[in-house]
Amino acid sequence: MTPSAPANLALPQPYLLFLGDITDAEYAKTAFGLRDWARERCVGEYACAGTTVTTGLPFLTPVEATAKGARALVIGVANEGGFIADAWMPALLSALEAGLDIISGMHTRLADIAPLEAAAAHNGRRLIDVRRPPQNIPIANGRKRSGKRLLTVGTDCAIGKKYTALALTRAFLARGIATHFRATGQTGILIAGGGIPIDAVVADFAAGAAETLSPDAADDHWDIIEGQGSLLHPAYSGVSLALLHGSQPDVVVICHEPGRDRILGVPGYSLSTVDEMMELALRLGRRTNPSIRCAGVSLNTAHLDADSAERLLAQETERLRLAVADPMRGGAAFERLVEACITA
């Protein structure tokens, strides 16, 4: 069952996923997210020479992808700063020449790059930036809204917040619960077809954007909101706090990757523990929702074998006295996490 969201983007599909020149899989989260949650919209991948990361999809040139029905190349990279690297330009220009539009979730606007703008005009193609917030976002007012809300809160970036939110949305819908996945980043927006890129909103309006994203709803309706960054990240904590205050979650799920001990991209800073993040999220979240609670923990155990992951989930469940699961592994542990989320 596909998670739903406001369908306010009409994007050309299917996609050719572009991996740039990256060598670190953490920076390919857009490509992996589309592969895992919108596989039917992806015909293959394309990359610059020297790239060591792969989604496992067929490698296709833009010409080959066009022949297989692709209509757009999606920049599947989320690098620090969200910039379009000079080394990518030949690949991007070749996509336009092959008849593909380009879709980007980067901070740098495609139309601001003169060679791309000229090539798009010459070839009759579109340059589409999804990291554009709507206009006239209000300043947050803190008013308590009807309906129920769940926010995924992480100990770091690229740690499983989006995957957890999507998996919970799918599980809620499978149980017949009225639910919407609310995307707050470029990958989630591409998957869901709508949302607000919180980190592209002017700071004073970020909490207001979170309020707008999860409006008043029926008492039995759930908005499951994709978390961003980390409350203790030295660069991105402001985005995380605005999202926490504006979304006013009734429930938070803490997302963590066992074994990661340093903040991604900022090696001088150690990662917070699950316990520290839980305490901080609840303390700060009570400012706009005094009834906030933590339903459990989502652990990203992709680097562990099945037996090791099962032992760790059991140990953490016992230690924390909370539901602990890896949503991508599913099973009884994940069902217990789902129950803990919906049961007050």
Residue 306 maps to a domain: yes
Q: Are residues 102 and 153 in the same domain?
A: no
Q: Are residues 68 and 210 in the same domain?
A: no
- 313 touches 326 (CB < 8 A): yes
Q: Are residues 157 and 270 in the same domain?
A: yes
**pLDDT tens, residue order, the chain (344 aa):** 333 333 456 899 999 999 999 998 888 989 999 999 999 999 999 999 999 999 999 999 999 999 999 999 999 998 877 889 999 999 999 999 999 999 999 999 999 999 999 999 999 999 999 999 999 999 999 999 999 999 999 999 989 999 999 999 999 999 999 999 999 999 999 999 899 999 999 999 999 999 999 999 999 999 999 999 999 999 999 999 999 999 999 999 999 999 999 998 888 999 999 999 999 999 999 999 999 999 999 999 999 999 999 999 999 999 999 999 999 999 999 999 999 999 96
**Domain termination site, one of 101, 129, 157:** 129
Residue 142 maps to a domain: no
Domain that holds residue 273: 148-342
The model's pTM: 0.91
| Sign of the torsion formed by the C-alpha atoms of 148, 153, 157 and 158 | negative
Residue 156 maps to a domain: yes
CATH assignment of the domain containing 26: 3.40.50.720
Q: Are residues 164 and 47 in the same domain?
A: no
What is the pLDDT at residue 27?
Answer: 87
Q: Are residues 125 and 211 in the same domain?
A: no
59 DSSP 8-state letter: B
CATH assignment of the domain containing 186: 3.40.50.300
Residue 139 maps to a domain: no
Q: Are residues 196 and 106 in the same domain?
A: no
Residues 6+ apart with CB under 8 A from 227: 151, 152, 153, 154, 161, 162, 165, 184, 240, 243, 255
Q: Are residues 153 and 121 in the same domain?
A: no
What is the pLDDT at residue 8?
Answer: 58
Provide the domain count of the chain.
2
Q: Are residues 261 and 228 in the same domain?
A: yes
